[in-house]
Amino acid sequence: MLWEKFHEFYPTGMKCTAFMTRLQGSRYVYQDNLGGLCSECNECGYEVFGEITALIKSNINDEIIRKELLANSQILRRYIRRNFFKQFQILSTGEAQHNSCISHCLRYAFGSCNFSHPDTCFNCEMIFSFFNKIKEYLSSELYEQLDVSLDELDNNGVVLIVDYKMKIVLQIARETKKNWYGKRGWALHTVLVYIKDLNLNQLNVHTFDHWSDDTRQDAWFTASSLHAALEILDKKPK
């Protein structure tokens, strides 16, 4: 947000209300009702980290740990917004290149990379460590439902997580929900399939991404994506 950037450079300057008042009538237009936008639209800053901040403030009582986690969340927020995409390796022809860090390999994301990904870069490791540390200090009631479901898996069952990841448009813009959902683009839908290998006592996770130029994101496409994922599985769950 403009106010956050202004306050970062001028911490002793005018207050938020005065700042927003000065902007009225200029080329900047304030729009509310931005809730419900996907991570792509709000540039990883409006909803996702806002909920993380609220979670930390309401559930972690130790002041030192709370301040540390809040500071780290802001560092990671800036990294994801400003530098994460810079790690993608793309030729001038538009062809994506292999990256040994799986989080930065676009070829792997689109299912066209046959190389191994043995490395985890420093920044990605920070992200994983950050969420692991949050989990240490949160009540198990906030996440135990999925853990219990995974622990109870056997050779005859799977755990499925089905949801839309994002909608991709030609130009990223922060808009109200009404304008955003009326815009043409691509819908990215994902099905995560958790299967347990009892012999090795480990979880195998399969990801099925489905793209569509129909941006309605309705139940029919969700059901179709789930059906397609189940048909591809070699061993069907009972």
Residues 62-92: tens digit of each pLDDT: 999 999 999 999 898 888 877 888 888 888 8
Decide which of 139, 155, 179 is a domain's last residue. 139
Task: Count how many Cα atoms sit within 13 Å of the Cα of residue 64 in the half-sphere of its side chain.
Answer: 0
CB atoms within 10 A of CB 104: 21
Q: How confident is the model at residue 190 (pLDDT cuts 50, 70, 90)?
A: confident
**Mean pLDDT (whole number) for 135-152:** 73
Decide which of 139, 161, 183 is a domain's last residue. 139
pLDDT at 115 over 80: yes
pLDDT at 117 over 80: yes
**Quick one: 150 and 225 in the same domain?**
yes
Buried b (16+ CB within 10 A) or exposed e, 35-50: eebbeebbebbbbbbe
pLDDT at 174 over 50: no
**Quick one: 132 and 163 in the same domain?**
no
pLDDT on residue 111 = 77
**Quick one: 38 and 135 in the same domain?**
yes
**Quick one: 43 and 122 in the same domain?**
yes
**Quick one: 163 and 134 in the same domain?**
no
pLDDT at 32 over 70: no
More confident of the two residues 111 and 90: 90
Segment of 2-6, 181-185, 186-190 carrying the highest mean pLDDT: 186-190
Average per-residue pLDDT for the chain: 76
The SS3 call for residue 232 is: helix
For residue 131, give Cα distances in angstroms to 7, 52, 81, 163. Answer: 27, 10, 18, 21
pLDDT on residue 191 = 87
**Quick one: 89 and 154 in the same domain?**
no
Q: How confident is the model at residue 173 (pLDDT cuts 50, 70, 90)?
A: very low
**Quick one: 54 and 127 in the same domain?**
yes
pLDDT on residue 35 = 42
pLDDT at 225 over 60: yes
Provide DSSP, 158-182.
-EEEEEEEEEE-SS-----HHHHHT
CB 89 within 8 A of CB 107: no
What is the C-alpha separation between 117 and 40, in angstroms, rounded? 25
pLDDT on residue 39 = 45
**Quick one: 157 and 194 in the same domain?**
yes
Decide which of 81, 114, 139 is a domain's last residue. 139
**Quick one: 45 and 61 in the same domain?**
yes
What is the C-alpha separation between 141 and 85, in angstroms, rounded? 34
Provide DSSP, 44-78.
TTSSHHHHHHHHHHHH---HHHHHHHHHHHHHHHH
Number of domains in the chain: 3
**Quick one: 131 and 154 in the same domain?**
no
Full residue range of the structural domain in which residue 17 is found: 1-30
What is the C-alpha separation between 28 and 2, in angstroms, rounded? 10
pLDDT at 171 over 70: no
**Quick one: 205 and 163 in the same domain?**
yes
**Mean pLDDT (whole number) for 14-23:** 72
pLDDT on residue 207 = 82
Note the pTM of the prediction, 2 decimals.
0.55
The residue whose two tokens read 């996907």 is 38
**Quick one: 81 and 164 in the same domain?**
no
Strand order in the sheet with 186-197: 159-168, 186-197, 202-212
